[in-house]
Structure 1
Amino acid sequence: MVKKRKHIRRSKGQQKESRPWYDLPVDILNLICSLLPIVEQIRFRSVCKNWQLVEPPHFERNVPWLLCHFRGDYGPNSSFHIPSPNQTHIVSDNVGIEYLKYKDAKICASKHGWLLLQQSSSKELLLQYSNNKEAFFFNPFSTEVIKLPNMDITFNRRATFSSPPTSPDCLCFAVHSSKSLDRIRISMCSPGDLQWRTTTVVGFNKSILDVVYSNGRFYCVFTGGVLGAFFVEDCSWSMLTSTKCKHKKFLSWSRLKLIEDCNGDMLLVSYTDNYYVFKFDMSDLVWKDLHNLGNQAIFLGCTSFAIETEGKTSALAGRIYYHRHYYSQFNYYSLHTDETCDVAFGHKGQGFEDGWKIVKNLAKVSVMISLLRVGFYRRSCPRAESIVKATVARRFRTDKSIPAALLRMHFHDCFVRGCDASILIDSTRKSQSEKDAGPNFSVRGYDLIDEAKRNVEAVCRRTVSCADIITLATRDAVALAGGPSYAVPTGRRDGLVSNPDEVNLPGPSISVIQSFQFFRAKNMTMDDMATLLGAHSVGVAHCSFFLDRISGPQPDRTMDPALATKLNKICGAASARNPDPTAFLDQGTSFTMDNQFYKEIRMKRGVMKIDQELANDRLSSGFVSRYALNSTLFRTRFAQAMVKMGRIEVLVGKAGEIRQNCRAFNPRRRF
């Protein structure tokens, strides 16, 4: 017996309207997209504007994609291999067709998602363009090309660059050995320059093998493991090892790759039939055998590099990834287990070293797409950013010191467990929070964040995180103080832990290298550190932070005498009501976010030790000089560094929570 279906008649007003595909709920779009392969997820988000709201695919932090370019049966293709998880994706590559005019270019270096290329040095091209070799940057994802001045020598992969070519401080560096090997020629330029700047260094009998950039220096390794360094700050050259450097594993026919590891140390990989790794000892100025990489993995290519593995990527630890010569195939050798393994197989080509038209290279390609994005609350809470901005502006009218307070709060929050607003949690009888840690005793501005949160909650309940409010409020305060106005990505979630024992922040009396190690642990560069310390342009310091520099048995005699006298007078006025007075870190423009701070420390007028060391130390003094002379450069880099700091270990997606009250975790639900 078949049951008859009941037909329900609906009136005209009750007819169910069909919803267009472009206007599906974001939750449904996220579910659909999550079931697709990674490459299709990227394409999915480019269908229409509404679909761009879908959460981007998640990639393991700091894990590179290995990029191969090969010619298939139906034209050029690109093969992306992701080491963790072990996946390979092959996509059609129209870029290869569009840029056939660059088919004779060879890759010299690759990092930050950019390739540095130069025309091939084949015999025909040498005859035709002997003094006119074209050099340029190319982004294989956006297809953007940034041209450099023509060059009269071939890089031959002895070239690199300091930072992305779109940044104002990008510097290209190329080194070339003379035919007689008695001298090297160093060439430098930045995007936008009309010609290369060159200098010659004599006294060699070695061939240059590899070059790498690290913290204001370009390191060059020669045959036999000889290591030299070029200092960008004063354009000086220094040999770090003897020119007669000799190691039994540095054979004349072995290939050497120079690498900066995750701790800022120089590593050297020697490979013929076997792989050997060495670490450069800066104190003894010698190479020492390294038998264990710890939690690091090494990737060899035109630009070699190391990554730190953790969590799901811990299986990569101890591996040396490399490219097989005659196939588009990636392999790795495990230094820990002495095993070799094929990890991805593509199509037969003419080898890794044969240039642009066959294989691009084994490179660290920055394709990690963050879940943070500018305008995250555009639909869910359109007024969020304007509400925070108005709240900060009202406070700034009565308290010009609020930018310094918010900058300090933002820094202290991001450098402990990431930018998750854990610093805002109040202590309870049962547990203490980060507020009870010594470095946070003098942090203020909590009431401003509370006010901004209340104003936002009145419009959009439990939508905007406290972590985003700190970030937005700091950005707005910087602009009000005369600093740069910049867009910040949002979408952070609030943390679920606030532990005072985890607060380990650098003190005011540490050295530059100690401070840098702290920043390095958060994936920040020396440039980032020098830039972010420029926030001291609007800050103050308690006398207890610098008293040892102006009094005591060994006062700092290098401090400007007039400043020392002024600080002694301020600190000498301590009383029972004010036992620890404060002094401005920038004596010139104390409430203005500008580059005056760098000018002050160049004149020995740094209040805290770390500030003055920034100008004295060779590792950082170059950044100080550039910022002191170029206000526009400082403003640009400060905005970039603030955005970068705001991405440190953020919680996104479904991690963490959106707090109702920034001072307390949300009550746990009981089922």
Structure 2
Amino acid sequence: MSTEITEQNAENQTWRDLPLDLLISAMSHLEIKDNVRASSVCKSWYEAAVSVRVTEQPPWLIHFPKSRNSYEFYNPSNSEKHPMELPESLSGFKVRYSKDGWLLMSKNISSDFVLFNPFTMDLVVLPYLELWYGYQLVGFSCPPTSSDCVVFTIKDYDPGHVTIRTWSPGEATWTSKQVYESQFLDVKHNYLVFSNGLFYCLNLRNDLAVFDPSLRTWKVLDVTPPTRPDHIDDESWCAGKFMVGYKGEIFVVCTFGNEQPLVFKLDLARGVWEKMENLGGLTMFVSVNSCESRTYVDEGMLRNSVYFPKLCDDETRCVRYSFDERRYDPVEHSVNWGKQSSSEDIWIKAPEYGYEMV
């Protein structure tokens, strides 16, 4: 008799009756959008879903409101500002790329490159680099405190001649790699993301190429460019782009004045850019020289949104686009993002909680 009751109870059990530890284990494998949906099923699912959500601190915006030697950190979650001064040795330097709390900086068309941490004031001076009229695209893989750090520069000197140079901690000179293929880079509007151990490069024509620093190989991928809407002119389509990486995924955000941005996710298996209707719960922070993304940001920040490197006129918030609300905030942001290639404002990974500004 007891056996029959046990079997009947087992048949009547549902997913809602799973032990909390099993629910938590299952929830830990869900993306944020699925986590949020699961949390609405019942009380036990809500508790399990919320318990595994890791709140991520949004990046800060480095804003240059006054001169090249002064700047501000702007925290978009609470609108706090922290004015800072660059060291005298970096006078005249500009930010070229940002990753993991570090900045890659150089003087205009200069061969003097440095890696600078504005929170700790640590400075790494890179070896002299002969660029001949400046770089076209630069970036780095991770902080120079790691032996895995690779600083990457790429330059097209003339048609069919691509030169790639890299540097890693402990090296006294740059390592060169020349590739004789069709010219890839453009005079402007080139984009770079480091993901899955590779540097992904996107040019004005939406061609995509990768450089593998471990194998020192360069390859232009057979990927069909994103489809341009009929009502968007060629100049706007080519200019208003941002490339974003997130946990191995590569995205392109295309903007056109006050219209809704278009977002495409790279599908390497199919060789296409897949159009997305929304960000699936992601929050993206985009700028010309570097982009950041988060899954579950602080209270006060909007998920499924894109934050741009531009403060509103009242300077209390950033311009953003919400895919949930289908609008910009402010609605009339008066900025054509396709014309913002010269913007020096850039997002940087913020320090851990409890950090005090020096």
SS of aligned partner of 2:127: strand
SS of aligned partner of 2:205: helix
Over 3 Å counting, the alpha-carbon distance change for 1:269 and 1:178 in structure 2 is farther
Pairwise CA distance, 1:194: 1.7
Q: Write out aligned runs for 1:449-528 (5 A).
A: none
1:247 to 189, 205, 227: 227
Question: In the alignment, does 2:200 pair up with 1:200?
Answer: no
Q: Distance in 1 between matches of 2:90 and 2:125?
A: 12
2:152 to 166, 170, 173: 173
Aligned to 2:103: 115
Aligned to 1:89: 81
Question: In the alignment, does 2:352 pair up with 1:365?
Answer: no
Q: Distance in 1 between matches of 2:243 and 2:342?
A: 21
CA contact (8 A) 1:224 1:247 kept: no
Pairwise CA distance, 1:152: 1.8
Over 3 Å counting, the alpha-carbon distance change for 1:311 and 1:212 in structure 2 is closer
Aligned to 1:268: 252
Q: Distance in 2 between matches of 1:200 and 1:190?
A: 18
**Percent same amino acid among aligned pairs?**
22
Aligned to 1:341: 329
Pairwise CA distance, 1:82: 2.4
Question: In the alignment, does 2:84 pair up with 1:134?
Answer: no
Pairwise CA distance, 1:276: 1.6
Q: Distance in 2 between matches of 1:236 and 1:119?
A: 29
Q: Distance in 2 between matches of 1:370 and 1:246?
A: 42
Q: Distance in 2 between matches of 1:339 and 1:246?
A: 22
Instruction: Compare relative contact order (CA 8 Å, sep 6+) and give the higher one, 1 or 2.
Output: 2
Q: Distance in 1 between matches of 2:278 and 2:154?
A: 31
Aligned to 1:236: 217
Aligned to 2:66: 71
Over 3 Å counting, the alpha-carbon distance change for 1:76 and 1:160 in structure 2 is closer
Q: Distance in 2 between matches of 1:270 and 1:184?
A: 27
CA contact (8 A) 2:226 2:264 kept: no
Over 3 Å counting, the alpha-carbon distance change for 1:310 and 1:332 in structure 2 is closer
* 1:607-658 Cα distance to aligned partner (Å, 9 max, x none): xxxxxxxxxxxxxxxxxxxxxxxxxxxxxxxxxxxxxxxxxxxxxxxxxxxx
CA contact (8 A) 2:225 2:273 kept: no
Q: Distance in 1 between matches of 2:128 and 2:350?
A: 27
Q: Distance in 2 between matches of 1:147 and 1:200?
A: 24
Q: Distance in 1 between matches of 2:66 and 2:226?
A: 42
Q: Distance in 1 between matches of 2:59 and 2:226?
A: 34
Q: Distance in 2 between matches of 1:325 and 1:161?
A: 27
SS of aligned partner of 2:299: helix
Pairwise CA distance, 1:205: 4.4
Pairwise CA distance, 1:245: 4.1
* 1:211-240 Cα distance to aligned partner (Å, 9 max, x none): 111121111112222111112221112222
* 1:276-301 Cα distance to aligned partner (Å, 9 max, x none): 21101121011111111011011112
Q: Write out aligned runs for 1:609-624 (5 A).
A: none
Q: Distance in 2 between matches of 1:280 and 1:214?
A: 12
Over 3 Å counting, the alpha-carbon distance change for 1:272 and 1:185 in structure 2 is farther
1:256 to 237, 241, 255: 241
1:221 to 170, 178, 202: 202
Q: Distance in 1 between matches of 2:125 and 2:154?
A: 19
Aligned to 1:332: 320
Pairwise CA distance, 1:67: 2.3
CA contact (8 A) 2:58 2:349 kept: no
1:312 to 292, 299, 304: 299
Count of residue correspondences? 281
CA contact (8 A) 1:148 1:193 kept: no
Pairwise CA distance, 1:255: 3.2
Aligned to 2:169: 191
Q: Distance in 2 between matches of 1:338 and 1:278?
A: 17
SS of aligned partner of 1:178: strand
Q: Distance in 2 between matches of 1:257 and 1:65?
A: 17
Q: Distance in 2 between matches of 1:291 and 1:363?
A: 25
Pairwise CA distance, 1:326: 11
Pairwise CA distance, 1:335: 2.9
SS of aligned partner of 1:298: strand
Pairwise CA distance, 1:113: 1.2
Pairwise CA distance, 1:76: 6.5
Higher helix share: 1
CA contact (8 A) 1:224 1:246 kept: no
SS of aligned partner of 1:224: coil
Over 3 Å counting, the alpha-carbon distance change for 1:218 and 1:338 in structure 2 is same
Over 3 Å counting, the alpha-carbon distance change for 1:166 and 1:339 in structure 2 is same
Q: Distance in 2 between matches of 1:140 and 1:178?
A: 33
Greater radius of gyration (CA): 1
Residue 213 of structure 1 aligns with an amino acid whose one-letter code is F
CA contact (8 A) 1:212 1:259 kept: yes
Pairwise CA distance, 1:77: 5.3
Over 3 Å counting, the alpha-carbon distance change for 1:296 and 1:246 in structure 2 is closer
Over 3 Å counting, the alpha-carbon distance change for 1:69 and 1:187 in structure 2 is same
Over 3 Å counting, the alpha-carbon distance change for 1:194 and 1:295 in structure 2 is same
Residue 68 of structure 1 aligns with an amino acid whose one-letter code is H
Q: Distance in 1 between matches of 2:198 and 2:210?
A: 6
> Where does the alignment leave 5 or more consecutive residues of structure 2 unmatched?
1-53, 334-338
Pairwise CA distance, 1:322: 1.2
Pairwise CA distance, 1:342: 4.7
Over 3 Å counting, the alpha-carbon distance change for 1:187 and 1:332 in structure 2 is same
Question: In the alignment, does 2:263 pair up with 1:282?
Answer: no
Question: In the alignment, does 2:135 pair up with 1:155?
Answer: yes
Residue 286 of structure 2 aligns with an amino acid whose one-letter code is L
